[in-house]
Structure 1
Amino acid sequence: MAIDLNPNAISPGAAGTKPAAATAAEARTAPPAKSGDDAASSVSLSATSRQLAQSAIEAEQRDASMTRSELAAEAARLREQFIGSGYNEAAAAREVPDTDDPTLLARAKQATAFVQSYGRSSTTENPFKNLSDDQLTLVMYDDSGRYTANERHAAWLEQYDRRQAWKQKVLAQANLEYQATGQNDKFFQACIDYYNALPLIEQAQYPVDYVARTQYWIDNNQPFEGRAVRF
């Protein structure tokens, strides 16, 4: 079975390689505070919302100015900064945001603590765990200095975990579908729907014929066995 549901995934844990855009209006909508959160948490969410709004504006401008191939190259360049050869754990741990906002300073510190403890027993929560998938993408691909390397890394880890859970779910459903029908139309359609919902900078990292090829497998009643389905 040749299935790779995430062509850009790097398994978290390896040294230096741990594990478009939403509209400005969407990014301005902060995730609701949990019941019982104090005033400081509310302020932190507000500060994050302001940053996401600016990130969304800049992401829209970037996406509009680049071709698909240019956007794919830009995505690869940016990913190197927070999960590739450009990511240095020691340097990232020392990085401090250029701000006097205590909530943003605390968020950066929390992101570093989370990244350092990822995969091990820890009570540190990911500061971006309540963001939407599109908002996580905004953080990851923003190299303006608005977010530290470890904040971008933490956003990627949250997205990575969500996608791993999604992959396990759809693959289990695909197996059941094939056993019942001998086909995988629903599985392939789920792949297309997922792709279509991705921000442009994420879509650009897939083969240009991804949708057409996957639709061909649906139209010709092909099973996913042996298909290089990517997500």
Structure 2
Amino acid sequence: MGNNTSSLKEAEMERELKMKMEQELKMKEMEFKNRQEVKASEVELRKVEMEIKEVELRKAEMEFKNRQELKAREMELRKAEMEIKSGQELKEKEMELNRQREIAELIIELKKTKSKYFSELTKSYMDIICEIIKQNSVLYDKANDSLNKMTNENLPESVKKTITDTYNRITNDIMSTTDLINYATKEANKLNIQDTEEYIKLINTLVDNGRLTSKDREKLLDAPYDPVIASGKPEN
């Protein structure tokens, strides 16, 4: 009986020990499995983090590339704008220079025309007066020769008419040398005034046509431009 009881106790103890060992083994297996899962999770987490970092890096690279491309485009745009602006400024300067050149040439031509008319007037009357003085208002043949010669030259019609009128007055009236000179001088002044009026009228026409500006006119005539005076119409 005693032996049976002892055997039963030993068997019970062995069973309990075996169960305990099995439990410990299961626990160790579970702990090992948990550690493996934790490690796998950590590896997966690090992998995800690396992927995120790679995405962020690619994003940063793309943003940097986009900024560089944007800067390059802006530089090209500014360069193109500067080229366009420079081209426009150059074209405007060339146009202004051409306009100034045309005005200068026109002014020179106008001054030549005016100078030519005045020199012709002076020459004509000086010739007549010289003939009158030399002949002492008695012999008119040479004066007549000079008149015919001058009226056949390329002079304005107004000059030719005044010369002829003056000669006719001389030949029809007996006048002293002084009277003749005074008369010729008076007629010369009339022609000078008439020539100046034609000159002013020509310049006013150029202003009206846009060939000259009001400032250009003031430089030529030393007088401001008045449309009423230029048109020849009386003021209301």
Query: If the length of structure 2 is used for normalisation, what is the TM-score?
Result: 0.20
Point out which structure has higher relative CO (alpha carbons under 8 A, 6+ apart). Answer: 1
Query: If the length of structure 1 is used for normalisation, what is the TM-score?
Result: 0.21
Higher helix fraction (1 or 2) = 2
Which structure is larger by alpha-carbon Rg, 1 or 2?
Answer: 2
